[in-house]
Each structure stands twice: as structure tokens, then as C-alpha cells.
Amino acid sequence: MSAATRVAVLGLGAMGLPMAQRLAERGHEVLGFDIAEPRLELARASGIQTFGSARAASAEADAVILAVRDVPQLTEVLFGAGGIAEVLRPGSVVILTSTVGIEPVREVAAQLARLDIELLDAPISGGAARAREGDLLLIVGGSDAAREASTSILAALASTVSVVGPNPGDGQAQKTVNQLLCGVHIAAAAEALTLARSLGLDPAESLRSLEAGAAASFMLSNRGPRILEALEGAEPEVLSRVDIFVKDLGIVTRAAEELGLATPVALAAHGQYVAGVAAGLESHDDSTLVRILPR
């Protein structure tokens, strides 16, 4: 398996597009596809070659980065009508950056292995701004060969590459732990800043105070300003949708249940995101979760 230099990025959404832009700037030939024409236009404006189908974008690629939302999208893009598995070259590598759960990734990896295609399980953490700067955390599970072929790609995208195991699914396992904390921290930040305002405090000053002490967290600092916007009735930019954490905390709680573990805090946070979707916030930024609290 040789080093991958020609990279197809399938899914040019909030994370896929900045990753594609970063790879192009770092000298990779990037081939992009998305179902939304406005995302393709943004990619072309960044000098990325775009295609009318995932299959066309992938046919000559050394590596394919998948930035999909969920398991149905993953299986459809690989094995559905017009799926890319049939056109990928033997010895190529598929890099999955999405959070979709452990068992689906193991199943997909086994199917690809029969075609002599490696799956590198590499879910990401860090957000769109950090993706654009190559400052992501990549949580990697996969073979030595798949990692070595992807070295230049991983180096362009991540400031930290955490290799957690030799098998696809290992990255998903660690990302499941990661998302437990992320989902809980966002929900807790929304509650804390709502409490501050309800106590008559200036929420912006309260946020600055919290960030300076032991209560500080990445999610508090990252989501805090957007939570303040939502508290003031504004519409924050959508950088991570509410329904993403319905999916991710659903993965967390199902994994814990299968293991016989109690995760009551994660379960409570999951309920908040489900309530957010019920309130019509599914496509809004997850900072707008704060809107369900006064109800």
C-alpha cells in the first residue's frame, strides 16, 4: 500500500469542506463530492475539483475520506446504488471521520477487506474552525499499513493523532467515550448560563468568570458565546446540529446498556437533545439547546 496523495472527500459539510480545503493547501490533489450544490460551489471556489457523483470522485483516488452523518449514509455511499466500493482500486484506503458506532464500522471494514481495501477508523473531534487550521484530534483505529498510507493526510488534518488500537472499531470506541463528555458538557454549559441569567447575573460576564476557574472546559468556551447569542434571541451559526448529539449520545447509551453499565448523566443529557429535536431545533446549532430550558 503506497502513500495516498490523491484524496477524494465525500461529504463537504461543516467538517468535510474545511478538511478538503486544508488538504488542498497542504499539496494534496483533492476530489470533492456533496449532494448539495452550494457546498460544491464553495469547494470549487477553494480550488477543489468537484464531481457529480461520489463514484466519479473516488474512481482514481488513492484514499477516500468519508464525512457522512450516520450508518445509512455510510452504507449507501459504499455499497448502495452508485456506491464507491466497486470502483475503488485494490490497495486503496477509506478513512472514516464520522461517528457511527463500533459494530457498523467493524462490519463495513470486513466487507471492504474482501475487496482488498483498508478501512481506517478515524473519527474526528475539534470543530470546523480547528479543521480549517489542521488542529483536529484524530482518534485512529486501523492497521499499520492503513495508517502509513494515510500519514500525510493525518498530518495535514490533525495536531494530535491518537492511535487507540489496531482494528477498525477501536476509533469508534474511544470516540464514544469522547462524545459522552462532549454531549454532557454542552448541556451543562447551557444550564449553567441559563441559571446565571435567571439569578440576575450578566451572562457574558458569568461566562468569562467560569472560563477562568475550575469550571472551565473546551465546550464551555467553544459553545458559550453561541449559547449567549441564543439566550438573546439571535440565531447562532450552525456549526454542529442538535440532532448530531441525539445520534452520538444514543451511541453512548446503547453501548453502555450492552455492557451493563449505568450512565445516568449521559442519559439525562441525551433526553435534553431529544427534547430539542421535539421542539423543532434538530437542524439548529447545538448551542440552541438552551432554548428548551425555560419551558
In 3D space, the residue among 253, 236, 238 whose CA is nearest the CA of residue 193 turns out to be: 236
Answer whether 14's CB lies under 8 Å from 128's CB. Answer: yes
Rg of the chain's alpha carbons, rounded to an integer? 20
Active-site option among 28, 55, 130, 175: 175
Answer whether 140's CB lies under 8 Å from 122's CB. Answer: yes
d(CA 91, CA 172): 23
Residue 175 among the catalytic residues:
yes
Answer whether 49's CB lies under 8 Å from 30's CB. Answer: yes
List Cα–Cα distances, 211 to 51, 127, 225, in angstroms. 44, 19, 11
User: CA-based angle 260:261:263, to the nearest 5?
Assistant: 140
Partners of 10 in the β-ladder: 33, 66
SS3 254: helix
Answer whether 112's CB lies under 8 Å from 121's CB. Answer: no
Residue with cell 430550558: 293
Question: Which residues are catalytically annotated?
Answer: 175
